[in-house]
Amino acid sequence: MYPSALDRLVLPAVALSVTLAVPSVATAQGTPADYARAEKLRTTYESLVVDIAGPPTAIGNTHRFWYRKMVRGAEQFVVVDADTQQRQPAFDHEKIAASLSKAAGTTYKATALPFNTLTFTDDGSAITVNVEGTPYRCGVADATCRKLDTPLRAGAGLGVGRRRQDDGPRVSPDGKWEALINNFNIAIRAAGTR
């Protein structure tokens, strides 16, 4: 059986389409300038967002939680008592900025604190923050900050953050097992094995 005229046109048309499509896929990769622009998007537009609250985070075993809120030209950390529904600033932002500036030897503003997440102690009397890879503990009442000796582990958290990737295995309390993420699954193995 001989191919029809239509069959003789279809195969070359498909081959031509595939040939033309392959270079366009290969050139779809962004340039370094594209990536640099994308990295600046957050800082460019973040200050334009107003009255948007971040995810709530519980404070120990209390009925209180905290969240980060964007207000005009600044970030604000807020604590909420779930029983009374009272909201208040999580700490004195001005005093924490001054104390962190003194402890770190760098100037920080209360409107642009150098962290976007924090951890309260179980009783809520102090916060631990990570400033450029260095952990600090700050008292809520007296707003005194001091550098901690032990480094913080980066947590996954929710929302937008400036976190380092921490994919290392977690050792069980008895030291016999390790848990890790493998291809989006939780895997468990004997400690020290690969």
**All structural domains of the chain with their residue ranges:** 46-147, 164-194
**pLDDT of res. 97:** 96
Residue 79's pLDDT band, with cuts at 50, 70 and 90, is very high
- The tokens describing 191, both together, are 């400690």
pLDDT digits (tens, 9 = 90+) for 119-176: 999 889 999 999 988 999 999 999 999 999 876 555 544 444 444 455 678 888 888 8
**pLDDT for 92 beyond 90:** yes
**pLDDT for 61 beyond 80:** yes
**pLDDT of res. 28:** 63
Other CB atoms within 10 A of residue 80 CB: 19
Q: Determine which helix (DSSP H) or strand (DSSP E) holds 182, and give its type and residue range.
A: strand 177-182
Task: Tell me the percentage of the chain whose pLDDT exceeds 90.
Answer: 38
**155 — phi, psi (to 5°)?**
-95, 160
pLDDT digits (tens, 9 = 90+) for 4-14: 666 667 777 77
Average pLDDT over residues 176-180: 87
Task: Tell me the percentage of the chain whose pLDDT exceeds 70.
Answer: 80
What is the sign, positive or negative, of the torsion defined by CA atoms of 37, 38, 39, 45? positive
Most confident of 28-37, 91-100, 182-191: 91-100
Residue labelled with tokens 């999580």: 90
Across the chain, mean pLDDT equals 82
Find the range with the poorest average confidence among 11-20, 40-49, 88-97, 111-120.
11-20
Rounded Cα–Cα distance for residues 93 and 110 (Å): 5
Identify the CA nearest to 65 among candidates 83, 75, 86, 80. 80
Find the range with the poorest average confidence among 22-31, 53-62, 132-141, 152-161.
152-161
Residue 50's pLDDT band, with cuts at 50, 70 and 90, is confident
Rounded Cα–Cα distance for residues 129 and 152 (Å): 9
Strand (E) positions, 18-125? 52-53, 57-58, 64-71, 74-81, 86-89, 119-120
pTM of the model: 0.58
**pLDDT of res. 164:** 46
HEC readout, 92-123: CHHHHHHHHHHHHCCCCECCECCCCCCEECCC
